[in-house]
Structure 1
Amino acid sequence: MNYIKKFKGQGVALPDSTHVKEVLFAFIGGFIAISIIGYMTKSFDNLLVLGSFGASCVLIFAYDKSPFSQPRNVIFGHLIATFIGLFFFHFISQEWWSMALALATAISAMILTKTVHPPAGSNPLIVFLLAANWDYLIFPTLIGSIILVVTALFYINLHKNRNYPQYW
């Protein structure tokens, strides 16, 4: 019965509301980052869009001080998770259990390397759903995540009260 009681929560208050200026700042940051990636995808006819980049933008532009939002986490989290997805897809199996094992391995690898980036957790699943080839590691994963970080470096530091990154 104590187990079920845990489901009701701890009664902690909701976080304070975010000021409209901060919401607008995050909105513009996400818009700029994905606009650059989308424009470059169309202009160079090379895939730079990765579904998990949308969630990366939430973390980077709304919670830039979070450990999950730091450049090493964004870039290496995406890179590690995608590599593991590709490895399992191409060398282990293309079955459902291999996809689950790839995800679990990616989570563990990100924790062990101190590069946890929650949006990257979806990358092994994306690899399996798209039946991606090895070039997916570079385009969109590596190049796209670098674009996100470079955009964040220039944009977030325009804000007088923000400094990005917290660490490399």
Structure 2
Amino acid sequence: MNRMKFELLAGFGATIVITCLAYLQAFTSENMWLMAPFGATAVLVFGVPDSPLARAKNVIFGHLITTAVGLVFLYFFGVTPITLGVATGLGIFSMLITKTTHPPAGANPMLVMMTHQTWFFLINPVLVGAVSIVVVAHLYNRLRKISLLNTK
């Protein structure tokens, strides 16, 4: 029973944070608050919160590093099949070398390049969204642990 409760609460935590970011996006149409990799981030931070891949450092810096790589390639090398591949590979290499591996962030160079984002994308949605997810997940997971420990 506790395992099913954990899984249900993990899904509920993801629901909360993605819904909040979606509402922010809906009410501020000029700002982007969501990106698809955040859904995969939610799987890690709520579903396997003790994983090294779900650490705050990995979530935030993994997303920032790979987004920056995508932006550099977009603005300095353009978008071609080769630059898409090299940017993705370099983003993964950069996360691994900095010990900030976060698998959902591996999609960021492609996302940035294929949608022709601006440098502001690095701040919003990437930094704001990643920090929001980390903060909500941290608080939520602490409450969840307390709740699970107190139930018999």
Question: Is residue 79–residue 114 contact of structure 2 (8 Å, CA) maintained in 1?
Answer: no
Q: CA deviation at 1:154?
A: 1.3
Q: Which has the higher Rg, Structure 1 or Structure 2?
A: 1
Aligned pair 1:53/2:38, yes or no? yes
Q: Who is 1:36 aligned against?
A: 20
Q: Who is 1:160 aligned against?
A: 145
Aligned-residue Cα RMSD (Å) equals 1.4
Q: What are the within-5 Å matches in structure 2 for residues 50-129 of structure 1?
A: 50-129=35-114
SS of the aligned residue for 2:89 comes to helix
Question: Is residue 70–residue 113 contact of structure 2 (8 Å, CA) maintained in 1?
Answer: yes
Q: Matches of 1:159 and 1:93 in 2, distance apart? A: 45
SS of the aligned residue for 2:32 comes to coil
Q: Matches of 1:40 and 1:93 in 2, distance apart? A: 31
Which TM-score applies when normalising by structure 1?
Answer: 0.83
Unaligned segments of structure 2, at least 5 residues: 148-152
Q: Matches of 1:50 and 1:114 in 2, distance apart? A: 23
Letter in 2 for 1:113: T
Q: Matches of 1:160 and 1:44 in 2, distance apart? A: 34
Letter in 1 for 2:3: H
Letter in 1 for 2:125: P
Paired residues, number: 145
Q: Matches of 1:94 and 1:129 in 2, distance apart? A: 7
Q: CA deviation at 1:96?
A: 1.1
Moved over 2 A (4+): none
Q: Percent identity?
A: 38
Q: Matches of 2:118 and 2:28 in 1, distance apart? A: 19
Q: CA deviation at 1:93?
A: 2.4
Deviations 1:27-67 (A, max 9, x none): 10110110111111122331110110000000000000001
Q: Matches of 2:104 and 2:20 in 1, distance apart? A: 19
Which TM-score applies when normalising by structure 2?
Answer: 0.91
Unaligned segments of structure 1, at least 5 residues: 1-17, 163-168
Deviations 1:82-134 (A, max 9, x none): 00001011101211100100000000000111100000000001012211111
